[in-house]
Structure 1
């Protein structure tokens, strides 16, 4: 193999590895959870979530939030945790 070809292949592989590592780091960051606050949901949904939390059914509250917003599990849990914290 010609030395120039080896150099081009080496640079291409290095660029690919750099790109993959960058994408992997972006996808594993846990500090970027965005969610819609429960207070922004319709009153009926807020009441259902509050009732579930009052009964100690956090999983049900998370399910209700996810049904209303189509949010991923991590965002729904964060939103319910904040709602629970605000309620005291």
Structure 2
């Protein structure tokens, strides 16, 4: 019982930290990677609730589909020219 509480607290912390990182990240690619970490940790919460089907759908649909789509969109629309910062 104590190990389940520790695991829940650990994955809740991972979910909150990665979600906060998604909002605060300046680079869209890094934000999408942090979104993947948040979605996988939500899938772990589903496993802890003994809802394995929902966890599998979370990984297949959101991590496998939506996150890959976002990552490809960011990679394909990224400019290859160096940015010029004005002072």
TM-score w.r.t. length of structure 1: 0.31
Say which one has the larger Rg. Answer: 1
Bigger share in helix: 2
TM-score w.r.t. length of structure 2: 0.31
